[in-house]
Amino acid sequence: MKTLAKISSLLLVLTLFSCEKETTIEPQVTKEVVDYSTTVPIEDFNGDEIPGATSTLQRDENGITGTFLSKGLIPGNAYTLWFVVFGDAPGPPSSTFAAGYIADDSGKGNFAGHLSVGDNFDTPNSTMFVFNTPLTAEIHLVVRTHGPAQPGMVAEQISTIDGGCTSGFPSGPVLHPDSDVVGYCANIQAGMHPPIK
């Protein structure tokens, strides 16, 4: 009888203990984010594809991430990568800085940048000041040369549209040849990504 009483007491304690530790599992509702990715060849100023050079753009409803794997850059030159965004309405594109780089001896450039919905453009057009069309915009990733890296100016050369520029071409839709002339700036390579939706 003592054993039965001990077992009953133990069961009662375990039952009470398990009631105190009861765990409720709530279902978690998560919003699925669809990620779209496109990879296109990079073109030079002649409209020719650069062998082995690619531009990849990942998009989702929250923004875009671009990766630009370039070749044929001039070692020691400063370069910037820009997101050029064509909006849903007709008109010129808006653009914003994505990344900067000094080309190494291989002449290859590996750039990567991100643009979130709600970010302001560095150079907005008259109607598009804030990025809000990650899935519906045509987006070009464009590399701009800033000529040879200049002591005391490198930070500006790899982070602004006209850093170190004294000659060459203003930003715009036309691509131009690269150059090792100090102060020469021009858009030289591009990867063009059509809208997803």
Instruction: Indicate the SS3 state at residue 34.
Output: coil
The model scores a pTM over 0.85 = no
Under DSSP, the state recorded for 72 is -
pLDDT in tens, 49-96: 999 999 999 999 999 999 999 999 999 999 999 999 997 666 788 999
Structural domain spans, the chain: 36-193
Cα(173)–Cα(190) distance, integer angstroms: 10
Which CATH code fits 36-193?
Answer: 2.60.40
The number of beta carbons lying within 10 Å of the beta carbon of residue 86 is: 22
> Of 154, 155, 143, 57, which Cα lies nearest the Cα of 108?
143
pLDDT in tens, 152-171: 999 999 999 999 999 888 77
